[in-house]
Structure 1
Amino acid sequence: MSAPFTGVPALPFDVANPSIKTQGTPVGPWADLKKYLASLSPPMKHYTTYLSGPTANNDMLNAPEGLHAFLRAYFHVKSADWALNDPHPLAGPHELVHMPAYYIMPHDVTMPEAVRKDAPSEKEVAENHWLPDEDLDVYVKEFGRTGFQGGLNWYRASFDEKSAEALRLFSGKKIEVPFMFMGGRKDWGVYQRPGGLAKLRSLCTQWDEQDFVLVDGAGHWVQQEQADEVVSSVLRFLVKSRV
């Protein structure tokens, strides 16, 4: 859901499946991404670089505007409610700059700073049907209690060479069970890795095009924005795939 699976980290000789790191040595088109984005004018950075770094938890937890306002803005800009979301396939890493600032961030800004200018108006908040303030308050209370670091550690692990080495046990393996991918039609996450959808298709031995589902009226939070459609699609898939 939302982010296409593109396989485990590659073995050193698998040039068709470039990873962020192989045996500790950068390879493939993603290897120089950090350097490339930093060289732009103005310099940029990838959101995973930021979220895996040492300051993200504190930046978000202690956003100057308050945790509630930050989360409201963050949920808004990554949803179908934000009119400027216009996701489409990208030809290569050089086109990542077309993505919004919550994915390709200005080099010296925090995530709260990246989304603040596009925070929803009072009218947009009042019209939101999938995340009313009373629901958002639950997130605010819990993240205020626990912080974000538990979730952010997923990003840290994605850059960890020891984790990558363990996953290489499965390099070259296919997905041999029925598989469905679902995302929001307004979600940049579907296209955030150029060639990601093609890679996903190549990994699946039982790929059925009807099980590639883009949900109208949804962005990154598809299971919240269009809950009924998500449940309906999952049930259809389970019934169809029943042996």
Structure 2
Amino acid sequence: MAGWSHRYAKINGLDVHYVEEGTGPLVVLLHGFPHTWFSWRHQIGPIADAGFRVVAPDMRGMGQTSGPPDHREYGPDRIVADLTGLLDHLGAEKAVFSGLDFGLFAAYDLAYHRPERIAAIIGLENPFITPSDASPLSLAARQARRHFNHIHYFVASGTADRDLDAAPREFLRKLFYALSSDYHYLDVWRRPAGTSYIDALPDAPPLPWTWLTETELEFYVADYSRSGFTGGLNWYRAMDVSWEYRKSYAGRKNPVPFYFIGSEQDTDLEGWHGDDPLNRLGDHYEDLRAVRMIKQAGHMMQMEKSAETTAAMLEFLAAGRSEWV
């Protein structure tokens, strides 16, 4: 981490924190929930060493980046403005964007609205925005009548913020374990309706694990203890807002070059993108370049299988570099 710079800027009305290293074509790494820039700690240095300028921001409402309390301020138009504002602040016309979870959806939205600002997308785990005739929150509510559903809990329980703010270390430790290859995350659906998320999650073994130490967990605990979880939960609470907004480009293929890295034990690939999503990537992208699958990794593969994930990202960056300089 010695070469990394922590920077702070006012962008799109937010106090934004980001980490930067290296020089060359710009690569922006976008995290999901409940993550921060720190989830990219294994990728920042190697990508910079390969001749790229790497920027990993804390996303709206998470980590050390501020976020409004109103969930309606977390729709795609606001997030796209955050990303274009970041590019403007960095003095960059465009960048390669890589993301996971909500961070990847943010890159997808940017590609539809401002494709000239994206050189390519390297997507992790979430292959596309899954089309749906019904709103995401109504689908979550329907599931929650039968069993525990984390999206419905975040949105409708009325206690999610308080529950998670009261036990950030327990929540993060249990969730990170549940999302790993050592647990089948969809087993949380076996819990009855009305269960709290912390109670729905499995007990986690003591740290350290092969991919996470106590010190590394404390980076997340410290940030979420300071900020609280409301900003991150607002990304879920805005899912219907985002669904309505994305109707404007429903059925259109994403226009920018696309690379995909998935893991064989990812809960999102298993449960949220329909049957056989990898064979349907061509239905969603005009320029699908390559697909890599990583074995024995769960959802957060850039931490759990950091070497393999980084190698795939470097391969994709090298393949397209001549186009992006």
User: TM-score if structure 2 supplies the norm length?
Assistant: 0.54
Instruction: Tell me the number of residue pairs that the alignment of Structure 1 and Structure 2 aligns.
Output: 196
1:66-106 alpha-carbon deviations (Å, 9 max, x no partner): x3233211111110133xx2x8xxxxxxxxxxx220x5752
Report the CA distance shift for 1:33/1:214 in structure 2 as closer, same or farther (over 3 A).
Answer: same
SS where residue 106 of structure 1 aligns?
coil
* Residue of structure 2 in register with 1:134 after alignment: 215
Aligned AA (2:150): Y
Following TM superposition, by how much is the alpha carbon of 1:199 offset from its aligned partner in structure 2, in angstroms? 4.7
Please, which runs of 5 or more residues in structure 2 have no aligned partner? 1-123
Match for residue 119 of structure 1 among 203, 208, 215: 203
Following TM superposition, by how much is the alpha carbon of 1:36 offset from its aligned partner in structure 2, in angstroms? 5.3
Report the CA distance shift for 1:69/1:212 in structure 2 as closer, same or farther (over 3 A).
Answer: same
Contact 1:179/1:207, CA 8 A, preserved across alignment: yes
Aligned AA (1:5): F
Report the CA distance shift for 1:149/1:36 in structure 2 as closer, same or farther (over 3 A).
Answer: closer
Contact 1:6/1:196, CA 8 A, preserved across alignment: no
> How do 1:1-243 residues align onto structure 2 when only pairs under 5 Å count?
1-6=124-129, 17-21=131-135, 34-35=141-142, 37-38=144-145, 43-53=146-156, 54-63=158-167, 67-82=168-183, 85=184, 99-101=186-188, 105-115=191-201, 118-122=202-206, 125-126=207-208, 128-160=209-241, 163-193=242-272, 194-195=274-275, 197=277, 198-208=279-289, 211-242=290-321, 243=323
Aligned AA (2:264): R
Superposition RMSD in Å: 2.6
Provide the rounded CA distance (Å) in 2 between the counterparts of 1:143 and 1:33: 25
1:168-217 alpha-carbon deviations (Å, 9 max, x no partner): 22222212222122222221111222247155431112224xx3222123
More strand by share: 2
Contact 1:47/1:104, CA 8 A, preserved across alignment: no
Aligned AA (2:205): S
Please, which runs of 5 or more residues in structure 1 have no aligned partner? 8-16, 88-98
Provide the rounded CA distance (Å) in 1 between the counterparts of 2:235 and 2:144: 22
Report the CA distance shift for 1:46/1:36 in structure 2 as closer, same or farther (over 3 A).
Answer: closer
Following TM superposition, by how much is the alpha carbon of 1:139 offset from its aligned partner in structure 2, in angstroms? 1.0
1:113-146 alpha-carbon deviations (Å, 9 max, x no partner): 011xx22233xx24x1321001111211111111
Contact 1:218/1:225, CA 8 A, preserved across alignment: yes
Provide the rounded CA distance (Å) in 1 between the counterparts of 2:132 and 2:170: 38
Provide the rounded CA distance (Å) in 2 between the counterparts of 1:201 and 1:105: 36
User: TM-score if structure 1 supplies the norm length?
Assistant: 0.70
Provide the rounded CA distance (Å) in 2 between the counterparts of 1:135 and 1:48: 26
User: Which stretch of structure 1 is more off in the superposition, 172-181 or 45-54?
Assistant: 45-54
Contact 1:79/1:218, CA 8 A, preserved across alignment: yes
Contact 1:20/1:159, CA 8 A, preserved across alignment: no
Q: Higher relative contact order by CA 8 Å / sep ≥ 6: 1 or 2?
A: 1
